[in-house]
Amino acid sequence: MHLEVARGKGACRLRVKLTDATPPDVVNTGMGWWLPSDPAPERGALDVNINAALNYSGPYDPISGSSDIRGLACRVTAIEA
């Protein structure tokens, strides 16, 4: 699937697994994925890592100072084979 985040900086490709554990209309993903067989130094991380789609330039949480990376609206579309 192709994923874009509202107010994000780009997009990424993700493999999808549909289960009853995640509510409808919710996307849950891990962070830090890469492809060890792809060329260095990125090893595909700029294509398949959720960090490629997120914007880390704010707004920031006033308590922790962290970027907002949870509960974001996104668009998921199928990638043609």
Alpha helical stretches, state H, the chain: 45-48
**Beta strand residue intervals within the chain, DSSP E:** 2-5, 11-13, 74-77
**Is pLDDT above 80 for 9?**
yes
Listed by start position, the domains of the chain span: 1-81
Q: What is the pLDDT of residues 28-78, one digit of tens each?
A: 888 788 999 999 999 999 899 988 898 888 888 889 988 878 888 999 999
What b/e sequence results for 6-29 when a residue is b if at least 16 CB atoms lie within 10 Å of its CB, and e otherwise?
eebeebbebeeeeeeeeeeeeeee
pTM of the model: 0.77
